[in-house]
Every structure is written in structure tokens, then in C-alpha cells.
Chain A
Amino acid sequence: ETGVTQTPRHLVMGMTNKKSLKCEQHLGHNAMYWYKQSAKKPLELMFVYSLEERVENNSVPSRFSPECPNSSHLFLHLHTLQPEDSALYLCASSQDGSREEKLFFGSGTQLSVL
């Protein structure tokens, strides 16, 4: 157990649904990340939060909306998704978002959009 917990583990949703992914870290870290992992593609950085402020969003479509209410919690709100958004969504944390830091990943949420 790395101290980063993601819920739910699996999610199936229709294109008109609204759902949220949750991530919680118990490591006392100050930076949190959302990555998307699709088959045959790199781990794609979506959002970075450092000290609860968004520092990079990497041109992600607006149907993905992150929220970081405090340094321990990170959400990804989903609405009107497309089938190509089906993927494994990984949350990660690091000490303070500076260079050369080890990322601690959660187990991910496997999302299927029908």
C-alpha cells in the first residue's frame, strides 16, 4: 500500500452521465496529479496541483474538471464524456511538486464510457 487511494476502482457510465473520481493520499504530500493511461499510449499528464493550486492542465477537454479542496484530496469530475475517454485514470502524489520527486501512484479507476 503506497498511501494513495482511489475510488471507485471501476466505473461504467453513459455519455450523458455525470460522475466523479476521488483520490486521497495519506502521505502528507503537497502535490497531486491526474494521469490518463490508455492502451498503446503513454501515461498522459492531465492536471497538476501543488499546494491546492492548479499549476498545469495540459490542454485537457473541459468535460474533465478537477477539484483539489485540500492537499489530501483530489477529484476529477466527469460530464458528457466520449467513448474514447475510456481508460485507466491514475492519481499520484509527490512531496511538494518540485523537480526530481518520486511519484506515488494510486491503483487507478478503470473507466468505461458507453
Chain B
Amino acid sequence: GENVEQHPSTLSVQEGDSAVIKCTYSDSASNYFPWYKQELGKRPQLIIDIRSNVGEKKDQRIAVTLNKTAKHFSLHITETQPEDSAVYFCAALSWAGTALIFGKGTTLSVSS
């Protein structure tokens, strides 16, 4: 089945800096890669996703890139703000295509 590795596990940046989180996946048949944000004590929520027919997608200060050959994808956050502080999870579809398999999460801390 699918296996998703996520790095780093923790990331601390200064407000205004950029943050990058990287994930690798094992199932070459996977073609959908979402990112979820979970603030402290709250539920995970989708922030951006990418499909295998594109290499990059942007939404304001966040962007995701995908390299299908290398089987890795990354989340980029520019001009970070304190409210970006949260745990970020990457995910990929399982081999059966029925549900998402998540990475271990990255705890992002943005200090002002």
C-alpha cells in the first residue's frame, strides 16, 4: 500500500520568512496529493491540493509542487505569519484509491 514520508517534523521560522515542507510517497499510481492544516486543538482542514497532471499550484501565499518522477511533493509558504503556526499534513491516495494516507505531520512555528 501507499507510504508517505514527511520532513521535517518541526520547523521554526521568523515572521516574513518562507517555509518549505517536503513529502515523498511510494505508490507511483497515486495521482492526488492534498495538504491539511491542523491548528492546536482543532480539526484538520484542507488548504491546497495538487493532481498529477500539473507540476505546481498556487493559492496566495501557499504553493505546492509535484515531481512525479521522483515521487515527491512540497508545500511552500511565503511571507509567513504567526497564524500560519500549526501542524501541516501531506497525504496521498492509497493504492486502492479509496482513502488518504497521511504523513506524520510537520509542526510549524512562526515567531514574530
Contacts and interface: CB of A to CB of B under 8 A. Distances in A.
Tell me, yes or no, whether A binds B: yes
Nearest to B34: A102
Given A45-B99, A90-B43, A106-B43, A99 B93 contact: yes
Top-6 shortest CB links A-B: A43-B102, A105-B43, A100-B32, A42-B102, A42-B104, A48-B99
A42 B98 contact: no
A50 B45 contact: no
A99 B43 contact: no
User: Chain B's interface: helix, strand, loop or mixed, by majority?
Assistant: strand
A97 B98 contact: yes
Interface of B: 4, 6, 31-32, 34, 36, 42-46, 49, 51, 89, 91, 93-94, 96-105
A50 B96 CA distance: 13
A103 interface: yes
Contacts of B51: 100
Contact of A48 (B4, B45, B98, B104): B98
A105 B44 contact: yes
Interface string A18-46: 00000000000000010100001111110
